[in-house]
Structures are given as structure tokens and as C-alpha cells.
């Protein structure tokens, strides 16, 4: 086995997050369909659109490195999405189910925040300035999506306790 460099790790992580985002593009419509709150549904659909843009940005990042965009199955995201899918099958009041969906979605967001955080640090160290700019944009969107969910959770959880 060849000795791995930081550049190898960077490309691996890029493939991991490309897989994660593609999985999300498939999962978000089902999530959006399963929630009761109109506001939450809209937030999930808005994030679907953002996620599609993130996939494009990741493909551009690969191009900036003269690599073809390949994904490598992200098992962690698979597990997180499965957790969210189970919630949709639970027997619960609408508000309670929505609160659980938000909790699952925030775990997804934080997985991505951690991954993009690492990718940005590595891109900077490796001097991949074009990729860095693209990854920073994705990171900022994930952080904003997480904050939006936190705000939504406040009203939905309040409804779930009454």
C-alpha cells in the first residue's frame, strides 16, 4: 500500500462529501414530504436546492484539481439518513414528528460542517485556492441551514409540548 499524503486525504474526503451530498439530494424530498409544518417543508426544499448547488461546486472543485469527480460511498451519511427515515415511520403527533425530523437533519448538517471544516483547512494548507473558495461557500451554507433549523425548532418544539 502506498504511503498516503495529505493531498490523498483531501481527495478522499472530497469524494466522501460528494457521496454525502448526492445521498442528501435523494433523501430530502422524502423528508420534506413527511413533515407537517409548512415552514419546515419549505426549509427542507430550500436546502435541497442548495444541496444541488453544492454538488455542482464539489464537481468544480474536482475540476480545479484536474481530477474527475468521483464519489466514495459515505457510510456515515447513509446511517444518518436511515435514522431520519425511521422517524418518518414513527407513530407520533405531527409536531413531535417534525421535532424529530429537525433533530435528524441537524445531525446531518453537523456531519457536513465537520467535513467541510476539515476540507477547508486542508485546501488552504495544500494551496488549492480555487477549491478552497468553493468549499467555503458550501460550509457557509451548511452553517446557515443549521441555524435556520435551530430557529424553526424553537417554535415547533413549543408546539410539540402542548
Nearest distance from C-beta of residue 78 to a second copy, angstroms? 8
Which of 2, 10, 1 minimizes the C-alpha distance to 123? 10
Phi/psi of residue 68, nearest 5 degrees: -85, 140
Q: Is 20 exposed, middle or buried (0-12, 13-18, 19+ CB in 10 A)?
A: buried
**DSSP assignment string, 44-91:** HHHHHHHHHHHHHHHHHHHHHTT--------HHHHHHHHHHHHHHHS-
Q: What's the rounded Cα separation, in Å, for the pair 160 and 132?
A: 41
CB-wise, 31 or 80, nearer to a second copy? 80
56 or 114: CB nearest a second copy: 114
Q: Please say which residue, 109 or 134, places its beta carbon nearer to a second copy.
A: 109
Binding region for a second copy (CB under 8 A):
1-6, 9, 13, 75-76, 79-80, 83, 90-93, 95-96, 99-100, 102-103, 106-107, 109-111, 113-115, 117-118, 121-122, 125-126, 150, 153-154, 157-158, 160-161
How many angstroms separate the CA atoms of 6 and 123, rounded?
10
Q: Which is nearer to a second copy, 56 or 77 (CB)?
A: 77
Judged by beta carbon, residue 1 or residue 66, the one nearer a second copy is 1
User: Smallest distance, Å, CB 75 to a second copy?
Assistant: 6
Amino acid at each position: 500500500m502506498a504511503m498516503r499524503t495529505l493531498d490523498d486525504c483531501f481527495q478522499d474526503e472530497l469524494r466522501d462529501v460528494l457521496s454525502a451530498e448526492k445521498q442528501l439530494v435523494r433523501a430530502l424530498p422524502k423528508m420534506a414530504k413527511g413533515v407537517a409544518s409548512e415552514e419546515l417543508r419549505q426549509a427542507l426544499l430550500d436546502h435541497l436546492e442548495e444541496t444541488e448547488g453544492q454538488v455542482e461546486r464539489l464537481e468544480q472543485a474536482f475540476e480545479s484539481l484536474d481530477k474527475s469527480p468521483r464519489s466514495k460511498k459515505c457510510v456515515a451519511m447513509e446511517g444518518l439518513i436511515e435514522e431520519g427515515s425511521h422517524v418518518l415511520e414513527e407513530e407520533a403527533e405531527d409536531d413531535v414528528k417534525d421535532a424529530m425530523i429537525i433533530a435528524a437533519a441537524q445531525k446531518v448538517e453537523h456531519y457536513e460542517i465537520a467535513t467541510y471544516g476539515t476540507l477547508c483547512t486542508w485546501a488552504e494548507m495544500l494551496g488549492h485556492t480555487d477549491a478552497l473558495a468553493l468549499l467555503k461557500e458550501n460550509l457557509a451554507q451548511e452553517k446557515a441551514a443549521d441555524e435556520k433549523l435551530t430557529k424553526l425548532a424553537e417554535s415547533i418544539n413549543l408546539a410539540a409540548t402542548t
